Amino acid sequence: MWGSFQIGLFDAADLAALGWLVLAWGLLGRLSEHPPASRPSVSVLMSNYRREWMRQMVTRDPRIFDSGAVDSLRVGSTFYASACMIAIGGIVATIGNPDSLLGLARNLTDVRPAAIVWQIKLMIVLAFVINAFLKFVWAHRLFGYCLIVMAAVPNDVTDAAAYPRAAQAAELNIFANRAFNKGLISVYFALTALAFLLAPLALALATTATFALMIRREFLSHSRMVLLQSTPK
């Protein structure tokens, strides 16, 4: 019964693998931003350091290092957004050329599904890449907002607006980094979704490997152990 179940062009194995892909993508984003209180993720730990960074900026003179650091973060988001644009163009061009798709199918697998099946599978990859592009663009804008608020922090430490405004800059920095991280997660899962071109089992295995890799980096990595040694509040 399970093997014969089918919706449209995809059978139960395809749908199960695709469901696991979407679930893992959503769950990873949720866990990285809202981990258990007893086990903070690298993303949460870094948010504390970003707040401390902005507090230290208030007393730093000049603040060239701080503006340069945020500007380098903007450059990183720009690079990834540009890479996503190139990938979007390539995927759209491939989807629009059924002959090249069928040639790709013959090289990858012995199965000969209709071209529309391959187009739909590439559209799934495209959806992740588009989401990543939008997140990187939004991160770029938020880092820009952060720079403006940083510039508005008074140079006088005794000014009542100095630390509250630095805290605002810190939160914008954190929001920008969250958008950037979501973009990176979508890039990882776009690459994972390419395994769907081979077989649903390949997609399920690739999704599991990607999910395990990202969980390890957030909760079991050496970098997390370093951050935990002296975490600012």
In angstroms, the CA 123 to CA 193 distance is 10
pLDDT at 1: 38
Which domain covers residue 212, as residue numbers?
Answer: 39-228
Below-70 pLDDT ranges, the chain: 1-8, 101-113, 231, 233
Supply the pLDDT for residue 3: 44
CA dihedral 17, 19, 20, 24 (to 10 degrees): 140
Name the strand (E) or helix (H) holding 125: helix 115-151
Q: Is residue 12 part of a domain?
A: no
In this predicted structure, what is the pLDDT of residue 142?
97
Considering the domain boundaries, does residue 165 fall inside one?
A: yes
User: What pLDDT was estimated at residue 179?
Assistant: 97
The total number of residues shown for the chain amounts to 233
Residue 5 lies in a domain: no
Cα(72)–Cα(38) distance, rounded to whole angstroms?
Answer: 32
Residue 113's pLDDT is 63
| Residue 183 within a domain | yes
Q: Residue 202's CB: how many other CB atoms inside 10 A?
A: 17
Look at the chain and report how many structural domains it folds into.
1
pLDDT in tens, 101-144: 666 666 666 656 677 888 889 999 999 999 999 999 999 999 99
Model confidence, pTM = 0.88
Per-residue pLDDT at 150: 95
Terminal Cα distance for the chain, rounded: 55
Q: Would residue 166 count as lying in a domain?
A: yes
User: Is 91 inside any structural domain?
Assistant: yes
Q: How far apart are CA 46 and CA 175, in angstroms?
A: 12
Q: φ, ψ for residue 206 (rounded to 5)?
A: -65, -40
Q: Could you tell me if residue 233 is inside a domain?
A: no
d(CA 11, CA 19): 12
In a domain, 14, yes or no: no
pLDDT (0 to 100) of residue 139: 97
Tokens of 223: 């970098």
Q: In a 3-state reduction of DSSP, which class is residue 31?
A: helix
- CA 25 to CA 186: how far, in whole Å? 8
Distance, CA of 186 to CA of 61 (rounded, Å): 38
Burial degree of 128 (CB within 10 A; 0-12, 13-18, 19+): buried
